[in-house]
Structure 1
């Protein structure tokens, strides 16, 4: 089963991911000194950022009109929904900033070139980081899945205060509500 639109998805027909414990170790971890390429043509070292940072990770965004990575992509729990998740962070970006997010980033293992096209197409107001070499993924032991020989990050969101992970949202479903859930947490935990 494949749904035609990258953004309009009937979540009742998509299997929800279960909490496999893959992110349980992340709370309170210190972000390692890993530099990643960003879609705004900069290099970002998350461990050097001051204040509150939101990083939402996802397996891979799709391309309009292109065939998915595998035929049954929509049936892999947690795979479908990267574009709706990203668009929800775009749409709530200003509110996230007001609620205390000094920085907002997307993160996937896709190449910087691919992500830059996607960021431009979706008019993202924040950079997306490429962990194509899996440096951050391995350093934090992020939960991953293997699809078509590729290692992909399972969908999650990290709220980081001065290089320490303060809160983890995992699993994330439906993906298009992730930014709203992050925003709610930020509002409830402002100044803490």
Structure 2
């Protein structure tokens, strides 16, 4: 997918994969907390209020051109790959919708300005949500990591049906295959 998205290929075998630390084991079956998050589409989105089947993919951070990544980024298990993950969801967006997703969102603890830059640069057809205040992250006890003093959500994807988490993909590796895995699950589990 990364190649198709116009990104340089990444040799995932050279990066440390994340391990399942149990950090997301409490999420399946949980009702999302009613937290309004700033959206790159304008205004705020409360995922808990979304009707139908919603796909939410969470990631630590997308890189910003010209801004160096944190020291040791590639050595952090599961850190690398946010742009390939987002581009894979972009490339499969229409298929995800045909398979039953009424909405797709990206989620990170980056600021709304950082999210807007990424959404525009990557030509994303879905909004990115900013949880830079960590409101949803804390309310749902999402698994995080701290990098250079900033809390970041560990990479995962959630299928949410009418505000209740039906399926959790965690850990996610390699990131560029996550959208395909979500699509396969949606196709096998129609609502």
TM bucket (normalised to shorter chain) is: over 0.9
| Structure 2 portions without partners, runs of 5+ | 1-5
Alignment of 1:115-134 (within 5 A): 115-134=115-134
- Distance in 1, matches of 2:126 and 2:173, equals 22
- Distance in 2, matches of 1:77 and 1:114, equals 23
**Contact 1:6 1:81 survives alignment (8 Å):** no
Question: Alpha-carbon deviation of 1:7?
Answer: 4.8
Deviation sequence 1:78-101 (CA, Å, 0-9, x none): 100000000000000000000000
**Contact 1:7 1:83 survives alignment (8 Å):** no
**Contact 1:6 1:62 survives alignment (8 Å):** no
Q: Secondary structure at the residue paired with 1:166?
A: strand
- Distance in 1, matches of 2:109 and 2:7, equals 19
Question: Alpha-carbon deviation of 1:158?
Answer: 0.4
**Contact 1:108 1:153 survives alignment (8 Å):** yes
- Distance in 1, matches of 2:78 and 2:8, equals 15
**Contact 1:6 1:64 survives alignment (8 Å):** no
Q: 1:6–1:149: structure 2 CA closer, same or farther, 3 Å change rule?
A: farther
CA root-mean-square deviation: 1.1
Q: Which residue of 2 aligns with 1:102?
A: 102
Q: Which residue of 1 aligns with 2:168?
A: 168
| Structure 1 portions without partners, runs of 5+ | none
Question: Alpha-carbon deviation of 1:69?
Answer: 1.7
Question: Alpha-carbon deviation of 1:66?
Answer: 2.5
Q: How many residues align?
A: 186
Q: Which runs of 4+ in 1 moved over 6 A?
A: none
Question: Alpha-carbon deviation of 1:9?
Answer: 1.1
